[in-house]
Chain A
Amino acid sequence: LAKTTQPISMDSYEGQEVNITCSHNNIATNDYITWYQQFPSQGPRFIIQGYKTKVTNEVASLFIPADRKSSTLSLPRVSLSDTAVYYCLVGSTSLNQGGKLIFGQGTELSVKP
């Protein structure tokens, strides 16, 4: 059974780089890896998505090794406002063709001053 695993919680200080790793040993060929951020009382919000190698946007980087069995979300120079829960999602939109969408249980990141 496909499973997406990530640490339950992490602590960091302002200005540090934070790396959150997600394990997805049974990732399928068509699956993408997507990360979401969620604040209390809000729905998750898209951060970044990738298929392989490295993807970078204005808020984060996503590193995916060649075997794609894990991925690492990297947040450069975090601030207090980055305190949130971060979810890893592995899956594809081909749900009507047997695809799956599997969320990790979420990593609660706490950034301290």
Chain B
Amino acid sequence: DQQVKQNSPSLSVQEGRISILNCDYTNSMFDYFLWYKKYPAEGPTFLISISSIKDKNEDGRFTVFLNKSAKHLSLHIVPSQPGDSAVYFCAASGEAGNKLVFGAGTILRVKS
């Protein structure tokens, strides 16, 4: 049972444009969400997080939006840069402490 879903396996965006990565979750107990970026053979790099008491969090070029009623979150990257090309994972945690449940990831390709 996939509790965190990233339905787009890949996304291709032109440099300078907006990248929007989506994530859906099913467990209503999740109340803390994170986005990670990952290159092959490296550990995930933390990008941005949001708790369920907020609906938006910004950090530089990265903004995460949370729609609790739809159980949906999205990561916006503006403007996209070639160095952003990587696999992006959405993760969620809830009542089970620090356990993170990850989505399958979305491969982002930013073309120059």
B is bound to A: no
A interface, CB within 8 angstroms of B: none
